[in-house]
Structure formats: structure tokens, C-alpha cells
Amino acid sequence: MRGQVLGVDRDSGEGQISGEDGQRYTFRPRDWSDQIGPAVGALIDFEAEGRAARRIYRQPGTVPAHLATPPDAGGRNKYIAAILAFLFGVLGVHRFYLGRTGSGVVMLVLSLTVVGLVVTGLWALIDTIRYLVMPEEEFAERYGRRPT
């Protein structure tokens, strides 16, 4: 059945859908089949089980980008990452902070040589500038996770 999301409780993630049959159906967060989750006004397809909506799918292209749940940087801040890259970048500290352990280890090992220090110094400077000019949404998308 098709319907539209009427409302969503921000704390619990539960909400209501208006079905094309004129009835209202309730849903829980686990009933959603995408990572974005519910957004008021979203047009959806779902299976009705009594007064509950189950196996809910968003109709492609029906939710404007501003209604989608924004990405979450997982508590990471791009300015802290930039400061760490600038001050301790040759050791790869900023990479560890962002959860990029592999490249952090590579930077740490490279910094043991003089040539490696030059390479990691340039790498860290580029990372510093990149973090500062990167939009918040892109930073969260690259170095974070989407809420579930």
C-alpha cells in the first residue's frame, strides 16, 4: 500500500502514516528499510498489518534533500582534526582521531626517516587545508556514520 508519513517522534523514532485507504498506521524505527529513516511528508510503500505499517520503503525521489536525516560525524569535529593535522600531522594523530588507523600507522612509520618526515609533513599540511575547506556535510559523510 502507498502512503505518506504524517509525523515522527524525534526521541523514539515512532510515528504515523496516512495510507491511501484513508486509514492511519503506526510504525517503529525497525520497520524502515532504508538508512535515512522516516521524514514528515515522505511518500512511501508499506505493508499493513492491522493498524501497523511494516516493511516500509521510501518511494524513490520523493523526499527533498532538506528532509533527509543529516549525516552524523560520530562526535568528530573537522576543526579539531585540522588542528591535530597541523600540530601532530607528521605522526598521523589526526588520522587516528578520524578512525583512519591504516593511514595513521603509515604516517607514523614514514615519520621515522628524514624523507618520510617531509612526505608526512606535506601530507598533513594538505589534510589540514582540506579539512578546513570541506563542507560540514561532506566531512560527516566521509569521516562519520549515518544515524540508525
pLDDT in tens, 102-123: 999 999 999 999 999 999 999 9
CA atoms of 36 and 58, how far apart (whole Å): 9
Q: Which residue has the cell 520523493?
A: 62
The strand pairing partners of 145, in sequence order, are 72
> What local confidence, expressed as pLDDT, does residue 62 receive?
64
Clarify whether residues 83 and 102 are in a common domain: yes
Q: Is 66 helix (H, G, I), strand (E, B) or coil?
A: helix
Q: What is the CATH number of the domain that holds 44?
A: 2.40.50.140
CA atoms of 147 and 140, how far apart (whole Å): 11
Strands 24-27 vs 15-19: parallel, antiparallel or unpaired? antiparallel
More confident: 81 or 32: 81
Which of 14, 38, 67 corresponds to the end of one domain?
67
More confident: 51 or 143: 51
Query: What digits encode the pLDDT tens for the residues 63-85?
Result: 545 445 555 556 789 999 999 99
CA atoms of 88 and 139, how far apart (whole Å): 20
Clarify whether residues 58 and 85 are in a common domain: no
- Domain of residue 21, residue span: 2-67
DSSP category for residue 63: S
